[in-house]
Structure 1
Amino acid sequence: MPGQSTRDVNGSTSSGRVELDCIHCGLPTPCAFDTDPSTVFCCNGCRGAYDLIHGWGLQDYYALRDQVSGSPAGPAGGEKSRYDAFDSDAFLGDSAPRLQSDGMATAEFAVHGLHCAACAWLIENAAARTSGWQSARVQMSDHTLRVMFDPSRIVLSQIARLMDRLGYELAPLAGKRHDHFRIENRRLLMQIAVAGFCAMNAMWIAIALYAGDASGVEANHRFFLRVIGTGLGVVAVLIPGRTFFRGALASLRTRTPHMDLPVALGLSVGTIAGLASAVSGRGDVYFDSLAVLVFLLLIGRWIQFRQQHRAAKAVDLLLRVTPMHAQRVTTDGATEWVLVDVLAIDDVIRVAAGESIAADGYIVAGETMLDRSLLTGESQPVGANQGDEVSAGTINLVRSVDVRVAATGRDSRIGKVMQSVELAASTRTPIVQLADRIGGVFVVVVTFLALLVMVVWWSSGWELAAAHATSLLIVACPCALALATPLAIAVSLGRAAKQKILIRDGSSLQQLAKPGTLWFDKTGTLTQGRPTVELIFGSDEAVRLAAQIERGCCHPTAEAIVRFVGQGVDTWPDAKSEFFRNGVIGVVDGLTVAVGNVDFMEQQSVLVGDPIFDAICTAVGRHASPVVIGVNGEAVAVVGVADPLKPHAAETIQELQRLGFRVGILSGDHRDIVDRVAVQLGVDSELAHGGLSPEDKLSIVQQRSDGNVVMVGDGANDAAALAAADVGIAVRGGAEVSLQAAPVFIASGELTSVISLIGGARRTSWLIVVAFTVSLAYNIVAVGLAMCGIINPLLAAILMPISSVSVLTLTLLWPTFRAAKERTNS
């Protein structure tokens, strides 16, 4: 169960109001000073999920969740009538249930809201306690759920509603399931398996031969072992090792030095010399070294392939931020749930309050307010009337509207943003790593020296010349050089993950080590992204009346007022309310209550006195939007609604500037709001840009006139900018796509982690330089000894891992991402 913490709402114990954590999801919830912490819920959804979990006796969920993730689950959602569509195969698509011979049915869904192993434990235990639901299997890697149920006792809509009560949302699977990735991944794993089998068995045979040299072994046994070892080595080189030969051939065709070239040469010379030794019965057979080399290099190829696939998923994830289904209006005025893919131009869809719009179009019936933060980053909702254009991915806040479809999928505005993400990711200039700069020269030098050794020693016999050349290629194998960068980065990534800094592209560390321009998104990045309310003038009773008529509205300001009032809202009798573009009016206990801005008060003939105007000025002075509350035709209270800055935001900006970065703000919010935030944070006004579209942000990020460009954001509107920047950093709380489009994700959401990230990146960059120096020094000495004939192939196979071990030891001892205590003391 989340630990309860108490915070005074207004920063003073005299306010009589405090913030307590919701006992289910942990979100701060304003409530009275004497409220029992064990009864605090932020919404009815959390209350229902809490009662359901305890009713099943699954209280261990809270302890397991906090132990595994250290963070509470998100707030539980409410039941939605759309789950009735889960009983329609046309709606489910690929998730339609499949009947089995025993009468059971299975289905697979995407699950939204999964956080950790505790979530999987809760869902699987919930299935065991639900009649007719036989089993549930959660796949955390791709956030899917496979269910087995008895269709005669329970239907999928019931399972979907039950999941909703627990705080998780089911959705049908998308049509494409990355078949190419599965095929290629399986092929690579099969190659690794074959190489691993050959390497392990060749090593055992080599041990037997080396032991035989010391203790003696019969000639026929020796010949048998040499033949078997040779066979295993040839299989490893020719089957899984052919990848390196293809790379070497491509290197020769394009005349571009590549690490595959000396590897292929070493494998070729070693194979030929080993075969000759095995047939003649003279010389050493060292196929164990060749097989192990193939095995380790293939593992590196597989890891690289997985990273590339993860980056390529950003485009698919962007499509998921828009709904997969929509309510299409039929000719007789009824509605039906259909896949967005089947919508045609000029179809009419109905979007209920609180739902996301599934396609671009224009409103043909109704008026409402729209939350466009997902697409544009605007923190304040905007009005939309009949005839106004709307975009997919925006959220309808106030009332149901009918929208005539103008564009869907990739043709929609968010679809074009998706294409810009794809283009930015594919055309971004790759970082030229230190390994690439040195590796090309190293490959040419080693290849030339190997040929030179063959020529110099040829007069002493081809076996000796081949042995010395093979020794050179093996002992000077570029493993250490190839290992230095990825190993240093891999260790740094693991240490960063312990600080809740997740990095999927290691090259970002080298970019972050160099100063440049660092752009911040505002809403949800520099600010909390969740409006809060402060009572400027009037009484708590007036705010309670306002909350009562605002309760049915999805507007962020209405939700902030309801949160401010806290406990008891859900138990009040329903109030009759009418929502307008800039306010709401309703009747509570016989009182006519109006809530909105000054213009709305004038429209409703509400008298606004001088004290109210003074309070409005006070709210503006505190960088908050004033909201007026009127009762029976007279304004009686003013509350300020603001999106507060995150803790340590100003300190983070100052430290980044001290480290040499030019820090700026890119926001879709109003220019005046951005200017106020810039003043609070000490950001140069010339670097604070407001009113930007996603395309505008992308254009500014692409202007690389003064070094590296880093983008920090958290919304789908930032996806293209995050992908186009040299380094994109996503922070907690944004859309899923931006977390995938950006190579760095700060899971804690703390801005101070940006400082830790840059410090760790600089130390990692120094580690790479030192590791390269060590590996190069080893290779220079080893190559000299091999050229002089001091090292034979057997000794070369023993010495080959030394450089890698030295790099590994250095990397593990290097303080890249230091613990919090170490940073404090340093």
Structure 2
Amino acid sequence: MTVHDTWSHPQLAAQVLRTRRDGQTEVALRVTSLQGPRHILRLQQFIHALPGVRRVSVDAAARRVRVVWDHERTSLPTLLRAFDAMRCAAQPLRSDTIDDSRSREAHDLLKRLLVAGMCAMQVMTYAFVIYIGVVDFVDFTTRGLFRWLSLVSAAPVVFYSAHPFTRGAWQEWRARRLGINLPVALAVWLVFIASTINTVRGAGDIYFDSVSMFVFLLLAGRYVELRARHHSGALGDAVIDGTPLLAERRRADGSLETVPAMELWPGDCVHIAEGTTVPADGVLQSASVQVDEALLSGESSPVTRTRGERLVAGSVLVSGPAQLLVEHSGEQTAAARVGALSARTRLARDAALLVDDVQLRHFVGRILLFTLLTALGWLLVDPSRAFACAIAVLVIACPCAFALTAPSALTRALGVLAQRGVLVTDSTALTRLARVDLAVFDKTGTLTESRLDVDGTRPAERGEADDWLSLAAALAQQSSHPVARAVARAPGNAAIHDTRHVMVIPGEGIEGQVDGRALRLGRASFARAPHGPLPSGADLWLADAQGPLAAFRIHEALRHDAASTLLTMHADGIATVMASGDTPARVADVARALHVAEWHASCAPADKLELLRSKRAAGHVTLVVGDGNNDAPVLAGADVSAALASGTELAQSQADFLLLHGQLGGLLEARQVARQVVEVIAQGRRWSLAYNLCAVPFAALGWVPPWLAAIGMSVSSLVVVLNAWRVGRDGHARPMVHA
């Protein structure tokens, strides 16, 4: 039985197939390779030619394909083989990932846009005849007919295409707040009602062409912004989809069984074939393999992993096969956590836009006030022109450009940074990052990487060193701290132990029962026996109630980009501080190597938090970078915080930025993009203000007809949206040195 045939099992197929109301079957598939538009087109044509296939839709950015077909005519295994035949392997996704909301939103807006566009063209044709009648004689019956035809053609635009603005205005009115939809809906309905009245009575000006074009251009701007927002969220979908649903688990007798990946447990041994996807986070048991970690790191080149190193779910095995000892599966994998953070990113961005809502309400309030003053002024001077001039002001001063500035820039920034391996979990942190002038770094696991040696300082009469290393590894496997990882993957720890009642004390160590024996692993002050302190000279101690068992020395190496990142920060005017729970001697060595003038050693979480508070009290805008549970309080208290993807879940949950590829250089990328976001938002605000100051007086004086006001407003909004796409266009981060 092949892997594809496994999907014929009813219970497994039920997890991925969804039955639609029309009786058709729908499945969402993650595709591993799409080689450009031509390949996508050929793939769609090939799959659509299969018996019973009704629809094939491809989302290249999210690496998803959705197929709607008659399951009785073509089975799921046959469908998957068809994808293989097109050299585009497909992996079924759980049915609960089939989210129609995004596609429905885009399709709905596109339909309204098309209706508005077709009707606007028709209305403009009728308006041309009416305009000719102004300079050349056209009999009144013909002109009246074309006025009625304009009314009929504009009605779908107002009642259908403009419905999102009407609904939004009603919601804003009920919430007693001013928003962008209110002036738009007022302009549309006032113009339409006034033009309808003039059409019925056969006299007066009509503006059906203006209102149709106004709605069409507004919808076009919204559609462009919506597509950009959906593209930005596609990376999160790709990460969520990264973990396969099937895995080959090795039985006790050495044979393999195919099981759902969600049923894997820590300690299971998994066989991964060459070219397949890693189903869970775990430790590599094979000598050496090459894996493609582009899903999480963004790097297209395969990387080499050796025995004892970790593989993350969603990576693709380039050379294999490989054996993996499972550590985390299902929703506990790194890919699942990043997917959850990606969803949090979208919520955070929407929340960030609410901050802009206060300024927008003031902007809209001024527009409505100025429109009212314009109408009152013309009622005193020339009542016949009051309505046209007020509408021109309302349309030309529409706050679309103002309202689109921040969403367009943030949407673009989130997408750019996600592609470069930086996940932003709080959009408001982007503007703060641009103002950061002091960075506080954790040492172990952030600026350095650890490896373990077994020291000779050990009571020889108490057993062999490898025995104690195996016991220490059993405790260390329960922690995500970099030093604990170094212990867990050290040679000589292959034995299986019964580990219970484990407790991790941040900044101190780990305690628990291993094979029924109470043990402590950590710094000397934590692991000391009741009868006295442990001998000095080691970095890490393993002890029981009777005394010390073994000592371990940790050797640290600087991260390959730590020195260059801190050097660039210094050149950019950011002061750097190191705060670590390690000993003063070790912290001083790393500080000298990185040219960090201010460092603090033996810091508990409370000490780091107090240091941060003192820096903020001195007026600094602070950035904190860490990766452990003991860094969580200071990450939460910083103005801006960043964590490595290799860090603990608690650290990641408190961070504003997640460095997916584990490289500190991602901070430079994020700061460069943050500066561009601040610049683009400021430019958009200045442009909107200058445009209104120049255009509104002309509209108030009656020199701008409503149709021209609609064009001016739309051009202004288009300028803002296009300007936002400058974010990230300058390539990767370069050293940013003040003049």
Q: Answer whether TM exceeds 0.5 for this pair.
A: yes
Pick from 92, 109, 123 the counterpart of residue 172 of structure 1.
92
Instruction: Call closer, same or farther: CA 1:349–1:440 in 2, change over 3 Å.
Output: same
- 1:782 has 2:711 as partner: no
Distance change in 2, residues 1:94/1:245 (3 Å): same
Q: Partners of 1:499 and 1:315 in 2: how far apart?
A: 13
Closer, same or farther: CA 357–816 of 1 in aligned 2, 3 Å: closer
SS across alignment from 2:178: coil
Is 1:582 equivalent to 2:492 in the alignment? yes
Deviations, residues 565-587 of structure 1 (Å, cap 9, x unaligned): xxxxxxxxxxxxxx994399xxx
Deviations 1:147-167 (A, max 9, x none): 99x999x9899889999xx8x
Q: Is the 8 A contact 1:458 1:465 kept in 2?
A: yes
Query: SS of the counterpart of 1:257?
Result: coil
Q: Hey, what does 2:541 align to over in structure 1? A: none
1:241 deviates by 0.9
Q: Using the TM superposition, give the Cα deviation of residue 723 of structure 1 relative to its aligned residue in structure 2, in angstroms.
A: 7.0
Cross-structure match for 1:352: 271
Structure 2 counterpart of 1:793: 706
Partners of 2:421 and 2:660 within 8 A in 1: no
Match of 2:636, SS state, is: coil
Tell me the residue number matched to 2:110: 189
Note the residue ranges of structure 1 that are not aligned, 5 or more in a row.
1-80, 99-105, 129-135, 385-389, 532-578, 585-640, 735-748
Partner of 1:769: 682
Distance in 2 separating the partners of 1:328 and 1:662: 50
Q: Does 1:117 align with 2:117?
A: no
1:359–1:409 CA contact under 8 A, matched in 2:
yes
- Superposition deviation, residue 146 in structure 1: 9.3
Equivalent residue number for residue 704 of structure 1: 637
Closer, same or farther in 2 for the Cα pair 1:160/1:512, shift >3 Å? same
How far does residue 779 in structure 1 lie from its aligned partner after superposition? 1.6
**Structure 1: distance between partners of 2:582 and 2:306:** 8
Structure 1 residues 581 and 187 mapped into 2: Cα distance closer, same or farther (>3 Å)? same
Match of 1:140 among 47, 53, 60: 60
Q: Give the Cα–Cα distance (whole angstroms) in 2 for the partners of residues 484 and 416 of structure 1.
A: 31
Structure 1's 581 and 367: CA in aligned 2 closer, same or farther, altered over 3 A?
Answer: farther
SS of the equivalent of 2:117 reads helix
Per the alignment, residue 623 of structure 1 pairs with: none
Distance 2:490 2:403 in 1: 64
Q: Which residue of 214, 225, 233 corresponds with 2:146?
A: 225
The Cα shift of 1:239 comes to 1.1
Q: Contact 2:629 / 2:651 at 8 angstroms: preserved in 1?
A: no
Correspondence for 1:651: 564
Query: For the structure 1 residues 259 and 669, does the alpha-carbon distance in structure 2 shift closer, same or farther, using more than 3 Å as the test?
Result: farther
What is the count of residue pairs matched by the alignment? 586
Letter in 2 for 1:260: N
1:278 aligned residue (179, 199, 213)? 199
Q: What is the CA deviation profile of residues 271-297 of structure 1, one whole-angstrom value per residue up to 9, with x for unaligned ones? A: 122212222333332222322222233
Letter in 2 for 1:351: V
Secondary structure, aligned partner of 1:198: helix
Give the distance between the partners of 1:108 and 1:418, measured in 2 at CA: 17
Q: Does 1:238 align with 2:171?
A: no
State the shift of 1:460 in Å: 6.7
**Alpha carbons of structure 1 residues 824 and 680: separation in structure 2 relative to 1, 3 Å:** closer
CA distance in 1 between partners of 2:423 and 2:450 (Å):
24
1:247 positional shift = 1.6
The CA deviation at 1:443 is: 0.6
Equivalent positions of 1:262-411 (< 5 A) are 262-306=183-227, 319-327=240-248, 336-340=257-261, 343=263, 350-352=269-271, 409-410=330-331
* Residue 518 of structure 1, CA deviation: 5.9
Residue 223 of structure 1, CA deviation: 2.0
> Are 1:482 and 2:403 an aligned pair?
yes
- Corresponding residue number in structure 1 for 2:671: 758
Please tell me the residue identity of whatever aligns with 1:513. A
Once the two structures are TM-superposed, the CA of residue 219 in structure 1 deviates from its matched residue by 2.4
The CA distance in 2 between the partners of 1:277 and 1:413, in whole Å, is 64
AA paired with 1:174?
R
Is the contact made by 1:760 and 1:818 (CA closer than 8 Å) also made in structure 2?
no
State the TM-score, normalizing by the size of structure 1.
0.54
The one-letter code sitting in structure 1 at the alignment partner of 2:214 is L
Percent identity, aligned pairs only, is: 26
* Alignment partners' CA distance in 2, 1:391 and 1:483: 38
Distance in 1 between the 2:580 and 2:346 partners?
22
Retained in 2: the 8 A contact 1:761–1:816? Answer: no
- Structure 1 counterpart SS, 2:352: coil
RMSD of aligned alpha carbons: 6.5
CA-CA distance at 1:656 after TM superposition: 1.9
Structure 1 Cα separation of the partners of residues 278 and 215 of structure 2:
52
- What is the aligned partner in structure 2 of residue 93 from structure 1? 13
Check the 8 A contact 2:405/2:720 in 1, yes or no: yes
Residue aligned with 1:352, SS: strand
Q: CA deviation at 1:303?
A: 4.5
Taking the aligned partners of 2:111 and 2:227, their CA distance within structure 1 comes to: 15
> What letter corresponds to residue 143 of structure 1 in structure 2?
R
Residue 368 and residue 773 in structure 1: after superposition, are their counterparts in 2 closer, same or farther (change >3 A)? Answer: closer
Matched AA of 1:173: L
SS in 2 for 1:239: helix
Aligned to 2:302: none
Aligned partners of 2:239 and 2:177: how far apart in 1? 36
Q: CA deviation at 1:473?
A: 0.7
Deviation at 1:444, TM superposition (A): 0.8
> 1:329·1:335 contact (CA, 8 Å) conserved in 2?
yes
The answer to whether the 8 A contact 1:257-1:443 is kept is: yes
Q: Which amino acid aligns with 1:242?
A: H
Change (3 A) 1:173 1:299: same
Which stretch has the larger CA shift, 720-729 or 650-659? Answer: 720-729
| Alpha-carbon displacement from aligned partner over 1:10-67 (angstroms, at most 9, x marks no partner) | xxxxxxxxxxxxxxxxxxxxxxxxxxxxxxxxxxxxxxxxxxxxxxxxxxxxxxxxxx
Secondary structure at the aligned position of 1:471 is classed as helix
User: 1: distance between equivalents of 2:602 and 2:133?
Assistant: 75
User: Residue 229 of structure 1: CA displacement?
Assistant: 2.2
Distance 1:151 1:727, change over 3 A: closer
User: What letter matches 2:213 in structure 1?
Assistant: V
Q: 1:806 to 1:679 in 2, by over 3 A?
A: same
1:210 aligns with 2:131: yes
2:171 corresponding residue in structure 1: 250
CA 1:490 to 1:323, structure 2 compared with 1: closer, same or farther past 3 Å? closer
2:715 & 2:447 partners in 1: Cα distance? 48
Q: Verify the 8 A CA contact 1:521 1:712 in the aligned structure 2.
A: no
Distance 2:722 2:324 in 1: 64
Cα distance per residue 1:202-247 (max 9 Å; x no partner): 3333344334433443323322222222233332122121211222
Residues 1:658 and 1:297: Cα distance change in structure 2 (over 3 Å): same
1:697/1:425 CA distance change after superposition, 3 Å:
farther
Q: State the AA in 2 paired with 1:189.
A: L
Deviation by residue 1:259-280 (Cα, 9 ceiling, x = unmatched): 1111111112211222122223
Gaps of 5+ in 2: 19-25, 48-55, 298-304, 452-488, 495-554, 606-624
User: Is the contact made by 2:57 and 2:65 (CA closer than 8 Å) also made in structure 1?
Assistant: yes
